């Protein structure tokens, strides 16, 4: 029919490309390779000629498809690309080939690779259908019920018939009812190899066009089911399941599809080949005053307009207020790191990472809970609390809620530069001051690859010379010295524990990092801050316009929420309506705001902790007996559960704010609560009212938290530390050393033989 209607030529190049890839794959070549890029896999089809690569890029790059109006395509997709390499695996690992092939999968960025679009839209569906018998008689063996299994095998027979593949004889040993389970493993492998040989013998480059005919049938059926007077709109036809067909065979071009079937576009059809250019309205007060002066508008009128436009920000631009605070924070962050010296506490905790109550022993936890509260000035802390103290949750975009961890939210807004420079400084500290580091200087760039790539993408990269200087400086550090914690049990008896190691020379590493950080700051920081908010806002505008294209009308607040949450929380305190204003859009609904979370979250959580039964806990390294050690371990586990429950009470308050009532166990998350509460109860449902009562009591009468639960004392590995608290004279008797973990030490063969414990 295509030949008769003169439609076959439009598919010639793509059909030939697909046919050649299929033939190569069946002959045992690996036709697709992948590499990791952050969280995503990047796919590349192997050994394409220059002409094939040109066809691929012209037809399948996401940008090209969007230029044809394919805004319905996702930018990311989960792809099981390993199925393309299944014949290669069958040759090398015949017994486990399909399992290995199915493990090659991942979240893939379609925007970064035209290869990925072709694999997603065309090749993965094709190879999955072609090799379905191997999956049924491999990883999926025995999963389906009888009727489902019969239906699956009927679908296999229909697919092979549609592709003009006569492999019934080779397939008979694998088919339903063939006695497959009675075959020995080697016989099963032999049956699979015979089917593969039969496919290799019959498949030629024409397979691409036959598969296309098979797939297009589904699109034809859906189109004419929706068509009135022979015409249907794209958004009525193209579902998530059918989008790959339009992308794979028509380059995402709806008009090309209509031409193929000989139908006219629907009169209401709108195909946009480009999205509107984002226009951002985030100007500060000074900029507006200057514009007013040029146009002759009175200053007080400008103030009135600003207060109306930025209703929840006192007339000031929410973005510029936050940029100003981030700049102040960065200056202090730099100064704090620059004056860090051996003997001080580690700065792990200067950037909040969550958690309110510290219950860990100092030699176990170099993380300094709440350290930022001690090192940053009160006015800056207050500004952070005000500007990042509220947020919006994607599930409830019509409500502004209290933010659980405002300083962590601020750190997230500051982005990869903070994560990178803080991480580099901490690595230098822990290499030198101990007890250990997650990486050395040679592995630093790899460890921070995600942050480095993000900075480079924003246009503000880190100089490679930083890593070279740090690697060279590491070779000049002092020799490793053990960090030992010594304890006196009684006169003439003591013990020690090795906790890690340290090396002299931290100031040298610190100064190199400070020099590069300040050079980067002078050259890039102002532009970086602008790039942060501009990039987020432009991305939000892009997603809004894409949703508008997909739906044919403006998205609802709920539909836009997942794209609005990040920029709203980073730059507008969760106020989505302010984000709409910054994008020059009219918000579809007003948000409600009823914030009940206490400003002092630590005191609130501490009160919940106490009411539940928790208490300050410090693990004794020396105990009276093994039973005492066991009791201490149980107490530690119980206290840790109380700590987790106390901190999760902030989530309870967020739910109360969005629901307008006290949440029940299902609202909170029954499985989540059961897992956390397992350390104190075996009946989470019965314990729930006790938990709610503790929260309500903490809301009414919060108790000040002791200093030791807000922050951690100096880490034992620091030269300033003179050892743990000495054992008192009353304790100076024979004690059992309780070294964590609390499991009893292995008994010697002599202990087993004589029954000693």
Asked if 591 and 546 touch (Cβ cutoff 8 Å), the reply is no
pLDDT tens for 689-742 read 999 999 999 999 888 877 655 554 444 444 333 333 333 333 333 333 333 333
pLDDT tens for 492-504 read 666 677 778 899 9
- At 128, the pLDDT band (50, 70, 90 cuts) reads very high
What is the C-alpha separation between 113 and 45, in angstroms, rounded?
Answer: 10
How do beta strands 736-737 and 622-623 pair?
A: antiparallel
What is the C-alpha separation between 683 and 689, in angstroms, rounded?
Answer: 12
The two tokens of residue 489 are 């049990």
Task: At 402, give phi and psi (nearest 5°).
Answer: -70, 140
Is pLDDT at 208 greater than 50 in this prediction? yes
If you average pLDDT over residues 366-381, what whole number do you get?
A: 90
Is pLDDT at 168 greater than 70 in this prediction? yes
What is the C-alpha separation between 241 and 410, in angstroms, rounded?
Answer: 40
pLDDT for 280 equals 87
What are the CB-based long-range contacts (under 8 Å, 24+) for 311-317?
Answer: 312/573, 312/575, 312/578, 313/578, 315/285, 316/284, 316/285, 317/282, 317/283, 317/284, 317/285
Is pLDDT at 283 greater than 80 in this prediction? no
Is pLDDT at 619 greater than 80 in this prediction? no
Query: In this structure, what DSSP letter does residue 498 have?
Result: E
Q: Who wins on pLDDT, 462 or 632?
A: 462
| Cβ atoms within 10 Å of 41's Cβ, excluding its own | 21
| Entry field: residues in the chain | 757
pLDDT for 704 equals 84
Is pLDDT at 14 greater than 80 in this prediction? yes
The two tokens of residue 194 are 């015979």
Give me the residue label for tokens 């009675």: 182
pLDDT for 721 equals 37
What is the C-alpha separation between 583 and 288, in angstroms, rounded?
Answer: 17
Cis preceding-peptide flag for 340 (omega within 30 of 0): no
Four-CA torsion 358, 361, 362, 367, nearest 10 degrees: -40
Residue 401 sits at the vertex; the CA angle it makes with 367 and 707, to the nearest 5 degrees, is 30
Q: Who wins on pLDDT, 645 or 4?
A: 645
What is the C-alpha separation between 90 and 28, in angstroms, rounded?
Answer: 8
If you average pLDDT over residues 346-366, what whole number do you get?
A: 75
pLDDT for 711 equals 56
Run of H or E residues at 486: strand 481-490
What is the C-alpha separation between 41 and 112, in angstroms, rounded?
Answer: 10
In a 3-state reduction of DSSP, which class is residue 575?
coil
What is the C-alpha separation between 74 and 383, in angstroms, rounded?
Answer: 39
Q: Which of 377-381, 438-442, 718-722 has the lowest mean pLDDT?
A: 718-722
Q: Who wins on pLDDT, 358 or 566?
A: 566
745: CB partners within 8 A, 6+ apart: none
Comparing CA positions, the residue from 101, 214, 199, 200 lying closest to residue 155 is: 214
The two tokens of residue 414 are 């500051």
The two tokens of residue 184 are 């020995």
Q: Which of 74-83, 145-154, 365-374 has the lowest mean pLDDT?
A: 365-374
Task: Tell me the average pLDDT of the chain.
Answer: 86
Helical spans, DSSP H, in 552-618: 557-571, 576-582, 601-612
Number of H helices, E strands in the chain: 37, 11
Run of H or E residues at 41: strand 40-45
């Amino acid at each position: 029919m295509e030949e008769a209607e003169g439609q076959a030529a439009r598919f010639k190049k793509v059909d030939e490309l697909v046919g050649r890839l299929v033939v190569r794959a069946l002959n045992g070549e690996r036709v697709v390779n992948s590499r990791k890029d952050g969280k995503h896999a990047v796919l590349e089809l192997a050994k394409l000629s220059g002409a094939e690569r040109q066809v691929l890029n012209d037809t399948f790059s996401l940008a090209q498809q969007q230029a044809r109006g394919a805004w319905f395509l996702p930018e990311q997709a989960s792809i099981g690309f390993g199925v393309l390499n299944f014949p290669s695996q069958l040759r090398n690992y015949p017994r486990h080939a399909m399992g290995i092939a199915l493990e090659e999968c991942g979240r893939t960025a379609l925007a970064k690779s035209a290869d990925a679009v072709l694999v997603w839209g065309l090749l993965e569906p094709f190879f999955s259908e072609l090799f379905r018998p191997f999956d049924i008689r491999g990883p999926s063996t025995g999963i389906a019920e009888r009727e489902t299994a019969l239906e699956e095998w009927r679908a296999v027979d229909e697919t092979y018939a549609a592709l003009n593949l006569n492999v019934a004889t080779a397939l008979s040993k694998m088919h339903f009812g063939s006695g497959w389970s009675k075959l020995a493993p080697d016989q099963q492998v032999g049956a699979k190899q015979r089917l593969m040989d039969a496919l290799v013998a019959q498949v030629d480059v024409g397979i691409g066009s036959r598969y296309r005919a098979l797939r297009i049938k589904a699109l034809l059926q859906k189109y004419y089911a929706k068509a009135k007077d022979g015409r249907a709109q794209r958004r009525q036809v193209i579902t998530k399941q059918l989008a790959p067909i339009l992308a794979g065979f028509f380059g995402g071009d709806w008009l090309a599809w209509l031409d193929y079937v000989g139908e006219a576009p629907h009169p209401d059809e709108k195909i946009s080949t480009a999205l509107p250019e984002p226009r951002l309205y985030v100007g500060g007060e000074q900029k507006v005053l200057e514009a007013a002066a040029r146009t002759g508008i009175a200053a007080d009128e400008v103030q009135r307009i600003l207060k109306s436009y930025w209703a929840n920000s006192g007339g000031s631009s929410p973005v510029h207020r936050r940029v100003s605070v981030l700049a102040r924070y960065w200056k202090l962050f730099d100064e704090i790191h620059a004056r860090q010296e051996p003997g001080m506490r580690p700065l792990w905790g200067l950037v909040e990472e969550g958690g309110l109550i510290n219950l860990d022993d100092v030699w176990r936890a170099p993380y300094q809970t709440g350290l930022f509260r001690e090192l940053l000035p009160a006015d800056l802390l207050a500004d952070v609390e005000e500007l990042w103290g509220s947020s919006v949750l994607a599930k409830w975009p019509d409500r502004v809620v209290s933010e659980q961890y405002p300083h962590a939210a601020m750190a997230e807004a500051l982005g990869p530069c903070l994560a990178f420079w803080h991480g580099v400084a901490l690595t230098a500290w822990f290499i030198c001051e101990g007890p250990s580091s997650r990486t050395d200087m040679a592995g630093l760039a790899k460890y921070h690859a995600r942050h480095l790539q993000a900075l480079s993408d924003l246009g503000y990269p880190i100089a490679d010379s930083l890593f070279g200087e740090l690697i060279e400086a590491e070779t000049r550090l002092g020799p490793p010295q053990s960090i030992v914690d010594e304890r006196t049990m009684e006169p003439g008896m003591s013990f020690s524990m090795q906790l890690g190691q340290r090396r002299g020379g931290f100031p040298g590493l610190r100064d190199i990092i400070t020099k590069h950080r300040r050079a980067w700051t002078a050259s890039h920081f102002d532009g970086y801050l602008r790039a942060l908010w501009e990039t987020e806002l432009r991305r939000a505008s892009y997603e809004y316009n894409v949703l508008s294209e997909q739906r044919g009308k403006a998205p609802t607040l709920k539909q836009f929420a997942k794209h609005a949450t990040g920029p709203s929380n980073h730059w507008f305190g969760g106020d989505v309506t302010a984000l709409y204003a910054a994008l020059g859009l009219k918000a579809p609904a007003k948000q409600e705001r009823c914030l009940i979370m206490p400003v002092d979250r630590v005191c609130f959580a501490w009160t919940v902790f106490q009411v539940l039964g928790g208490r300050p806990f410090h693990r004794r390294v020396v105990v009276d007996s093994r039973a005492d050690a066991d009791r201490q371990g149980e107490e530690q586990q119980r206290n840790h559960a109380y700590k987790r429950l106390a901190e999760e009470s902030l989530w309870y308050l967020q739910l109360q704010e969005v629901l307008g009532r006290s949440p029940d166990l299902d609202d909170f998350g029954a499985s989540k609560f059961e897992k956390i509460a397992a350390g104190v109860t075996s009946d989470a449902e019965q314990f729930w009212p006790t938990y709610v009562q503790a929260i309500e009591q903490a809301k009414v009468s919060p108790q000040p938290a002791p200093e030791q639960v807000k922050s951690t004392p100096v880490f034992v590995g620091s030269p300033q530390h003179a050892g743990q608290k000495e054992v008192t004279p009353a304790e100076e008797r024979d004690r059992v050393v309780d070294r964590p973990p609390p499991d009893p030490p292995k008994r010697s063969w002599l202990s087993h033989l004589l029954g000693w414990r």
